[in-house]
Amino acid sequence: MKWSVKFIISLTAIMFVLISCDFIRDIFPNGKSKITFRASTTSKTNQADTVLFTGDDIKWLNGTTGEVCFVDSLTIPKAFSFHRIKCYLGTDSLFTASMTSDYMSSILNDLVLNHNLQDGKYYFSDGYPDYIENVGAKNVRIQNKEKRAVAWTRFTEELKKEGRYVIK
C-alpha cells in the first residue's frame, strides 16, 4: 500500500510541475492559432471583416508546392464566395490573396489561393495561372513576391511554431 501511495503522489507532483512549466505553454498556447483569414470586399484593413478560417483550420502548408491541406474539407468553399481573403497574425495584416480556380480565364500577377480542379487541392501561388510565358507578367510577380516576403516569412514562421508547415 505504501508503494502505491508514493507512486500516486510522485506522479501527481510530476504532472503539476510539467503543467506549470513555461515550455509547455509555448508548445500548446491555448490551442488557438494567431493566424486568421478574413473575408475581404475591399483592399482596406478591417478587423471587423468576417472570419473565414484560422490557422487551426489548416492541417498543413507544404513549403515546396504551396499546397494547403485543411482539417475539414468544408472549410474553404465558403471563402470562394469572396474574391479576396486577408491574412492576419494577431491584429497585424500580413497579406491579401485572391481566390482563383482553374476555370477562370483572367490573369492575376499577385498572391492567389487557387483551387486546382484536377486534383481538388488548394495551392498558394504567386499568380494565376501558375505558368505564364509573358516576361512582363513574370517580372511583376517577382516584384510582388518580394514586397510581401517579410509578411510571408512571418506567416510561415507562425505555421512552423504551430507544427503546420511541412516541406515535401
Percent of the chain with pLDDT over 90: 58
Residues 15 and 80 in one domain: no
Residues 130 and 118 in one domain: yes
Residues 39 and 90 in one domain: yes
The pLDDT of residue 153 = 98
The pLDDT of residue 78 = 74
The pLDDT of residue 36 = 94
Residues 49 and 25 in one domain: no
DSSP state letters, 39-101: EESSSS--TTSPEEEEGGGEEEEETTT-EEEESSTTTTGGGGGSSEEEEEETTEEEEEEEEEE
Residues 18 and 94 in one domain: no
- Indicate yes or no: pTM above 0.95: no
Residues 43 and 26 in one domain: no
pLDDT per residue as tens digits for the range 49-106: 789 999 999 999 999 999 999 998 887 877 777 888 999 999 999 999 999 998 888 9
Residues 47 and 9 in one domain: no
Q: Which three cell numbers stand for residue 124?
A: 498558394
The pLDDT of residue 12 = 54
* Range with top average pLDDT, 22-26, 78-82, 106-110, 151-155: 151-155
Greater model confidence, 124 or 103: 124
The pLDDT of residue 49 = 75
Q: Which domain holds residue 24?
A: 1-30
Between the alpha carbon of residue 11 and those of residues 4, 5, 121, the distances in Å are 10, 10, 45
Residues 38 and 66 in one domain: yes
CA 79 distance to own-chain centroid: 13
Nearest CA-CA partner of 55 in 79, 43, 39, 71: 71
Residues 8 and 60 in one domain: no
Residues 125 and 72 in one domain: yes
Residues 60 and 108 in one domain: yes
Residues 138 and 63 in one domain: yes
The pLDDT of residue 76 = 80
Return the SS3 of 113: strand
> Quick one: which H or E segment has residue 146?
helix 135-147
The pLDDT of residue 74 = 80
Number of domains in the chain: 2
CA–CA dist 79, 64 (Å, integer): 23
